[in-house]
């Protein structure tokens, strides 16, 4: 997927239960978003449940949902583990 001047393309790597989408197991997908989008926009586009705690990494650096995306970025979504 290539981006146009008003959109950007981000590679999204999914981990754990997030890989199970529509009866398939998907490790990585390409997402096209409007220029100026942030990590939270990408998470919402992928319909990740809001109550799910995530570790978000953008190009290998842990970020929050407000981090602005650029064309060609690599976003990794990792469900946070909990338990005792």
Domain positions in the chain are 7-79
- pTM to 2 decimal places: 0.87
Question: Residue 59 and residue 13: Cα distance in Å, rounded?
Answer: 11
Percent of the chain at pLDDT above 70?
92
For residue 82, pLDDT beyond 70: no
Average pLDDT, the chain: 91
Given a contact cutoff of 8 angstroms between Cβ atoms, the answer to whether 6 and 32 are in contact is no
Q: Which two tokens stand for residue 5?
A: 């001047």
Query: C-alpha angle with apex 13: 40 to 35, nearest 5 degrees?
Result: 45
Give the CATH architecture of domain 7-79: Roll (3.10)
For residue 3, pLDDT beyond 80: no
Report the candidate in 35, 43, 40, 21 with the shortest Cα–Cα distance to residue 72: 35
């Amino acid at each position: 997927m290539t981006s146009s001047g008003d959109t950007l393309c981000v590679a999204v790597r999914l981990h754990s239960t997030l890989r199970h989408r529509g009866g398939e197991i998907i490790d990585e997908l390409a997402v096209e978003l409007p220029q100026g989008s942030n990590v939270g926009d990408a998470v919402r586009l992928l319909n990740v449940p809001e109550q799910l705690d995530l570790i978000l990494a953008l190009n290998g650096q842990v970020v929050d949902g407000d981090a602005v995306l650029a064309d060609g970025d690599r976003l990794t979504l990792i469900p946070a583990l909990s338990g005792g």
